[in-house]
Chains A and B, each alone.
Chain A
Amino acid sequence: MALLDRIRGPNPLVTVLTLIGRGTLRLLGNFGAMAIFFSIAFINIFRRKQLQEIVNQVFYIGATSSLIVMLVGLFTGMVLGLQLFYTLVKFGSVGALGSAVSLSLVRELGPVLTAIMITARAGSGMAAEIGILRISEQVDALYAMRVDPVQYLISPRIAASIISFPLLTAFFDLIGIIGGYLTGVLLLGTNGGTYFYRVHSSLNMVDVRGGFIKALVFAAIVSCVCCFQGYFCHMRTGGYGAKSVSLATTSAVVLSCVMILIADYVLTSFFM
């Protein structure tokens, strides 16, 4: 019987199930490791001698990303103004343009696009920088000097992300609403007073809070995923040295974006 099995080869169904099982276990293991990594790093935010590093990281993640975030916000708002104007005009509801633009931005587009922009700009940088520190033994050097690498490298980045994401999201929303005004009011002739009145009357605190909660969750996801990928780049099986840093950076961006969208769906369904 055993000989017969060997001649036939493995059952394709069993092979597929084995692969799925293995992949799932690896995925769960990685998520578990990431959760532990995030918890340790988060606790270490509150240790001494962290303030200076957190300020540095807020500058890197927050201040230097603000221009690109605002630029994207402006054009997103402008596109929304155009698209929604042509949709609403078909139903004779052009007056609701301010509501549509502001709600879309504050509840959905603002947190998601801001998070994706920061991932592309600062998240990839985080993964690459930590990865290079790892492969050049600088992480080991920190440990050898009795400096906890997670506390020194990861915690300030997580803290800075938690501070920067909501602020940048707020900037994005604000500039986006102005972008909608530029196209909807100045270009297409909707009444400016109506536009801002609708913005003011339709936005509730629940919407704003929901947007900020999303921004906070995305901050945790992006900082954790990017730092985790960089920190453990030396354990990747696909490549070593510079190649492993490159793979870690790619994974960090792709995984962060996917997780932002999944988390966005989960949070939206939860808040609705």
Chain B
Amino acid sequence: MEIPLIEFRNITKRFGDKTVLEKVNLKIYENQITTIIGKSGTGKSVLLKHIIGLLTPDEGAIFFRGKPVAAMKKSEWEEYRSRVAYLFQNNALFDSMTVFNNVAFPLRRTTNLSKKEIDGRVLKRIQDLELTEAVDKYPSELSGGMQKRVALARALVSDPKIVLFDEPTTGQDPIRKNMILSMIVHYRRKFGFTAIMISHDIPDVFFISDRIVILWEGSVGFEGTYEEAARLKLPMIDEFLRGLEGFQDELTGLLSREAFKVSYAAMLGGSAGIPTASAALFSVEFDLLQESLGPQAAVEVLRALGEYANRRFKPVGGFSARHSRDQILTIFPHTSPDKVRQMVADFARELNQEALARIQSIAQAKMGAQARPEIYIRAGVTQVSSTDEIDQIIEKAQAKQEIVATHQGDSGGRA
């Protein structure tokens, strides 16, 4: 059985008379993204601060690779802390330092690297996070979103093995939110760190998280994967997640997954006998796009795909939602698969004429006029039967997916 990287056993924390955490038991595994969700004031940040030692528990113990943190020698404790980075909720940037100096600060103070090495690493992180034009500015001269990215650059500059993200996307617009989350996934893959994140960005955090932890009134209400949470159908979790998710997907303007489920159930319930319905599943290769275009442009592609799908299919009665980070499922009530295939072909043409050109300009703005990104959009059409669960529809459509639109360098779009 895998030993958790970090384990909380019966952690209780009180501030005066107020008990913030009560007998919290929690396991965090290596190389995973664990997202902590909970209402305001349920002790999420307090929980995170225990990991780095900013707070110590009143009762219980925290274990790192099975060893109690409280029993560590000073050298072991320092070694443990050198692996952990913390992204604060309000960024906690040093106001009197420029962006460059903020990012360089941990390297200058805690390593023996030469000035040249430090400058090189800092500039690389600054470029990665698209902060080049802000390098000589002070935090107060930056927007909230840029400040967040500076804080992220500072947290990642020392190549930590565990990164604690305290609401990393607060105050960001939907594109930046997704960009930051994508970057977290990208950097986790690249550097292999374990991410522990507090976030309310549903559904996006579900797409990227390996495990979710729901804090409920100071205790862990649920711990596991999103699929497990959805299967359990606990009223407390359902109500909470629905409340957070809302009706609309912030990034694409499509329905939220919960709203999609409701629409699908209504479609099945409102039809006498077996409904004639079809579904189309669209997807882009998000990771590939992120590699070639960068996180911001990759998110723009996804957003554009959602916008076009909504604009094209909503007037004909179709309803769509994102079901993973890069997959959009559209259901067409009372429509045959052949009709849907025709609509998808028209949609692909529209994508080539408008959307992909827009994407090309985004890529060129970022990578220069010579940029020739390759973008593939796949679609699969299937018939929907009244007994199909949404997951089954996705599976069937996925099996039939093929490239419907592509954009390869200067050859332009092709349907």
Contacts and interface: CB of A to CB of B under 8 A. Distances in A.
A59 interface: no
A224 B229 CA distance: 53
B109 A144 contact: no
Given A138-B94, A140-B54, A145 B110 contact: yes
Contacts of B105: 145, 147
B115 to A, nearest CB: 13
A140 B106 contact: no
A265 interface: no
Contacts of B93: 138, 141
Contacts of A152: 109
Given A138-B93, A140-B49, 12 more contacts: A49-B109, A137-B88, A137-B89, A137-B90, A140-B54, A141-B92, A141-B93, A143-B53, A145-B109, A145-B154, A145-B158, A147-B106
Interface string B134-146: 0000000000000
Q: Considering the complex of A and B, which 3 residue pairs feature the smallest CB-CB distances, nearest first? A: A141-B92, A144-B86, A137-B92
Interface residues of A, number: 13
A144 B85 CA distance: 7
A18 interface: no
Given A49-B109, A138-B94, A144 B82 contact: no
A147 B52 CA distance: 13
Given A140-B54, A141-B86, A147 B92 contact: no
Given A145-B106, A145-B109, A140 B82 contact: no
Contacts of B53: 143
Contacts of A147: 105-106, 109-110
Contacts of B65: none
25 contacts: A136-B95, A137-B89, A137-B90, A138-B92, A138-B93, A138-B94, A140-B49, A140-B54, A140-B88, A140-B92, A141-B92, A141-B93, A141-B94, A144-B84, A144-B86, A144-B88, A145-B109, A145-B110, A145-B158, A146-B78, A146-B81, A146-B82, A146-B109, A146-B110, A147-B110
A145 B107 CA distance: 9
Nearest to A144: B86
Contacts of A145: 85, 105-106, 109-110, 154, 158
Interface string A186-230: 000000000000000000000000000000000000000000000
Contacts of B86: 141, 144
Nearest to B78: A146
Contacts of A141: 86, 88, 92-94
Interface in A131-159: 132, 136-138, 140-141, 143-147, 152
Interface of A: 49, 132, 136-138, 140-141, 143-147, 152
B51 to A, nearest CB: 10
B63 to A, nearest CB: 20
Interface string B89-122: 1101111000000000110111000000000000
A158 B31 CA distance: 43
A145 B109 CA distance: 9
A115 to B, nearest CB: 26
Of the listed residues A141, A143, A146, A152, the one surrounded by the most CB atoms of chain B closer than 10 A to its CB is: A141
Contact of B54 (A49, A132, A143): A143
Nearest to B154: A145
Q: Point out which of B52, B89, B92, B110 has the most chain A C-beta atoms below 10 A from its C-beta.
A: B92
A133 to B, nearest CB: 8
A138 B52 CA distance: 15
A140 to B, nearest CB: 6
A267 to B, nearest CB: 36
A164 B90 CA distance: 36
A144 B105 CA distance: 12
Given A137-B88, A137-B92, A144 B110 contact: no
Contacts of B94: 138, 141
A155 B64 CA distance: 32
Contacts of B92: 136-138, 140-141
A144 B88 CA distance: 10
Contacts of A140: 49, 54, 88, 92
A137 B89 CA distance: 9
A59 to B, nearest CB: 14
A136 B95 CA distance: 10
Nearest to A52: B108
A140 B90 CA distance: 12
A141 B105 CA distance: 11
A90 B92 CA distance: 65
Nearest to B108: A49
A146 B158 CA distance: 11
A139 to B, nearest CB: 9
Contacts of B108: 49
Nearest to B164: A144
A141 B93 CA distance: 8
Nearest to B86: A144
Nearest to B102: A141
Nearest to A138: B92
A154 to B, nearest CB: 15
Nearest to B105: A145
By CB atoms of chain B within 10 A, which of A132, A140, A152 has the most?
A: A140
Interface string B51-64: 01110000000000
Nearest to A139: B92
A148 B353 CA distance: 58
